[in-house]
Amino acid sequence: MKALAFSAILTLTASASFACETVTLGDLTIQNAWSRATIGAGRPGVLYLEITNNGGTDDALVGIATPAAGMPMLHETVVSDGVASMPHAMAVPVPAGQTVALAPGGYHGMLMDLTAALKEGETFPVTLMFQAAGEVTVTVDVLSMRAEGPDCADAGQ
């Protein structure tokens, strides 16, 4: 039943592309939310996006939730002395006046226990929880496994 409801969400939102849309929450803007397609649901998915803090007060991303995964968590890829590890990140700092990217090789959302395989061209919602600004839900575009980012005019700023 849960899977069925989830497919309905996917179907309803599959026709549009959202990654290049900007979502606003107070002084925060969130854009370029994307993920990679997965083969089956046995391996974790990933979540990347950009957060800009236009305000004068520091904030932090402290949690993520999504119907697409049973256990979504924030992680950070750390390469130290030539070894990559992926510790759990308690929070992603979003300092005043700065843009922070969850991007390949750095902070990212790790979507464990996927509800279903993530298919290229589909979308799914993710709710972002900020320490100060509260919660906001963004729509994540599932790109190909080979994607290195969404193809937006203002991407990679």
Query: Under the rule (CB under 8 A), what is the footprint of other proteins?
Result: 36-37, 39-40, 42-46, 71, 73, 75, 77, 79, 82-86, 88, 104-105, 108, 110-113, 145-148
Q: For residues 140 and 108, is the Cβ–Cβ distance under 8 A? A: no
- We find the least distance from the C-beta atom of residue 108 to other proteins, in angstroms, to be 5
Residue nearer to other proteins on the CB measure, 12 or 86? 86
The Cα 127–Cα 111 span in angstroms is: 13
Residue nearer to other proteins on the CB measure, 40 or 56? 40
- Contacts of residue 63, Cβ cutoff 8 Å, sequence gap at least 6: 74, 128, 129
Residue 60 has φ and ψ, to the nearest 5°, of -155, 140
Q: What is the largest CA-CA distance in the chain?
A: 47
- We find the least distance from the C-beta atom of residue 75 to other proteins, in angstroms, to be 7
- We find the least distance from the C-beta atom of residue 96 to other proteins, in angstroms, to be 27
